[in-house]
Amino acid sequence: MHRLHLIIPLALAGCVSPPPPAAPPDSSAAPRYPSWEEVPAAQPEPAPAAASFGWHLDAPAEGRPLAGSGATLETLTVSRGGHSVDLQLVVFDSRHYDLQVLDQPEDWSGGGKITACMRQAGAAAGVNGGFFTPEFDPMGLMIAGGRTTGTWQSNKLLGGALVVTSRPLLLWNSEVATRDASHLLQAGPRLVDAGRPVAGLDRKKHATRTFIANDGTHRWFFGLAAGVSLGELAEILATPGLTALPVHRALNLDGGRSSALYYRSAEGREHSAPGWSTVRNYLAIIPR
């Protein structure tokens, strides 16, 4: 019974009062997923036009309205040559939702922690965030609600960042300025640039992937794709007509065992697909 009294207040504290910033992660620490071999060593030019990649919708996408103004959950299946990929996309307009990084410092909390964190933030939807080290420190720089943890890193894996100032932006490393950022999350690799898939991404390892994308203006989506390689995911996201909006840029998130998705319907019902692993942070959309 005494142990139960200790666990309950600890669980309630998650996502409310994170500890002081941890020591910057070791830049040599390998991420849990994907491996370094999956990421191109250089920053290549975009691949040829995406219309030639052959992915197509198996059936019209199904949409479900979410809490707030105009966000939807889109579920779809795409295929090519007998290989099918199921996707769930949370589509939203950043003029009606705040995009935030939620810190989750409890390394023992489990994948199901996403529901409590999203509920406390008042989120309409959310997804797992970026990579973290074996010591449970963010890999790279994280700013959550103006509070900084970790340090900026430039390497093969962390090719870009979600940066929120007066509005959210999906930026590549050379474009990032942290001065006015209230939220920031380094992630990678880059998947789509200028509407075309980034070349050189791994095409052999198939797993669950999570990602965030935008159309270059105020329309965004993040989501989850099952059983797909990084190279295939980049092609799918860049293929015209497959997703609810044309993708200008897309950035990979942690994925693998960390993959988790949460959403709250317009009627207020919560739905969660938690990952297998505890994760250090989440991305969430908060209705204005």
End-to-end CA gap in the chain: 42
Q: One-letter amino acid identity for 122?
A: G
pLDDT at 24 over 50: no
In the chain, what percentage of residues exceed pLDDT 90?
Answer: 78
Lowest mean pLDDT segment, chosen from 26-30, 99-103, 196-200, 250-254? 26-30
pLDDT classification of 66: cutoffs 50, 70, 90: very high
Please say if the pLDDT value at position 94 is more than 70.
yes
Q: How far apart are CA 279 and CA 158, in angstroms?
A: 17
Confirm whether 74 is domain-assigned.
Answer: yes
Number of domains the chain is built from:
1
* In the predicted structure, residue 123 carries a pLDDT above the cut 70: yes
Q: What confidence category does residue 201 fall into, taking pLDDT thresholds of 50, 70 and 90?
A: very high
| Structural domain contains residue 256 | yes
Alpha carbon distance 149, 141 (integer Å) = 6
Q: Which domain holds residue 63?
A: 58-287
Bridge pairing between strands 207-214 and 56-57: unpaired
> Which pLDDT tens digit goes with each residue over 259-283?
999 999 999 999 999 988 999 999 9
- Give the dihedral of Cα atoms 232, 160, 99, 107; nearest 10 deg: 90
For residue 49, is it within any domain?
no
Which of helix, strand or coil describes residue 207?
strand
The mean pLDDT value for 207-227 works out to 97
55 pLDDT above the threshold of 50: yes
Whether residue 19 lies inside any domain: the answer is no
pLDDT for the residue numbered 275: 87
Report CA torsion sign: 275, 281, 282, 287: positive
How confident is the model at residue 40, as a pLDDT? 57
Identify whether 186 is part of a domain.
yes
The CA distance from 166 to 155, in Å, is: 27
pLDDT at 8 over 60: no
Confirm whether 7 is domain-assigned.
no
For residue 191, the model assigns a pLDDT of 98
Give domain status of residue 37, yes or no.
Answer: no
CA distance 213 to 119: 23
Q: Report the helix count and the strand count for the chain, using DSSP H and E.
A: 3, 19
Query: Mean pLDDT throughout 65-82?
Result: 96
Segment 125-175, tens digit of pLDDT: 999 999 999 999 999 999 999 999 999 998 889 999 999 999 999 999 999
Contact call for residues 257 and 132 (beta carbons, < 8 A): no
Supply the pLDDT for residue 154: 84
Cis peptide before 44 (omega within 30 of 0): no
194 domain-assigned: yes
